[in-house]
Amino acid sequence: MLQIDQLDIYYGMIHALKEVSLEVHEGEIVSLIGANGAGKSTLLKTISGLIKPKKGDIQYLGSSIAGKPAQGIVKVGISHVPEGRRVFANMSVEENLELGAYLRKDREGIRQDFKKVYDLFPRLFERKKQLSGTLSGGEQQMLAIGRAIMAKPKLLLLDEPSMGLAPIIVKSIFEIIEEINKEGTTILLVEQNANIALSVANRAYVLETGHVVLSGAAQEVRESELVKEAYLGGH
């Protein structure tokens, strides 16, 4: 579904991603793990059109999307839930969700997807008229995911969904991520919590200082010495 080939990204003089190649097959959850500053968020921003690659290609469903504008990427079926959630704080929960569907014209489909989001996240339904800035961190994360679902993506890019959340909330968010995947959305997940990232994924890639240093089935990656030592605290 998604094929990234020899991608090079620079921030000014900083070489942020170095010849990164990876692929995501339809129906999978693929996790990308690595330390802070490894280039994980940069990769998602490049896929979603926020950063232009210096060289290399990104193929989505057989067509190149490298360097396409962000709204064009949403239109072809890729939604990005950014790090730090980025909800529109002065707008209600419902208005945030409406914005997620801004490129769509199918009224009935939008209505059904509102219902789908509220079924996945009953708490958002309870707070639909509330200003998003007054929600808890966990609720804002739910809203950010819900807003992305309203664009009806085939591929969902999730950037650090567990960041700053209590373990019990993280567990519930990840159960919902698995549910979204079971309902047919392919997921590329960037996550610093390697344990939970590898427990939900089919396959995984490890990114270190802009390079892919390891990839394979999630279970194999979890059992590698590198990952045990660096990311799983030696377990």
- The boundaries of the domain holding residue 136 are 2-230
Instruction: Please choose, from the candidates 114, 188, 183, 189, the residue with its C-alpha nearest in 3D space to the C-alpha of residue 151.
Output: 114
The pLDDT tens digits of the residues spanning 100-153 come to 998 888 999 999 999 999 999 999 999 999 999 999 999 999 999 999 999 999
- What's the confidence (pLDDT) of residue 116? 94
Supply the CATH number for residue 112's domain.
3.40.50.300
Helix (H, G, I), strand (E, B) or coil at 205: strand
The pLDDT tens digits of the residues spanning 169-217 come to 999 999 999 999 999 999 999 998 999 999 999 999 999 999 999 999 9
- Answer whether residue 235 is part of any domain: no
- Answer whether residue 13 is part of any domain: yes
Per-residue pLDDT for 235 more than 60?
no
Give the tokens for residue 141: 């994360």
Give the tokens for residue 89: 């704080």
CA 42 to each of CA 8, 11, 13, 137, 166: distance values in angstroms, whole numbers, following the listed order: 11, 10, 15, 23, 25
When comparing pLDDT for 86 and 212, which is higher? 212
Question: 109 - beta bridge partners?
Answer: none
Instruction: Please choose, from the candidates 38, 47, 81, the residue with its C-alpha nearest in 3D space to the C-alpha of residue 67.
Output: 47
- Answer whether residue 53 is part of any domain: yes
Q: What angle do CA 108, 110, 114 make, to 5 degrees?
A: 120
Instruction: Say how many domains are in the chain.
Output: 1
Rounded Cα distance between 52 and 70, Å, is 10
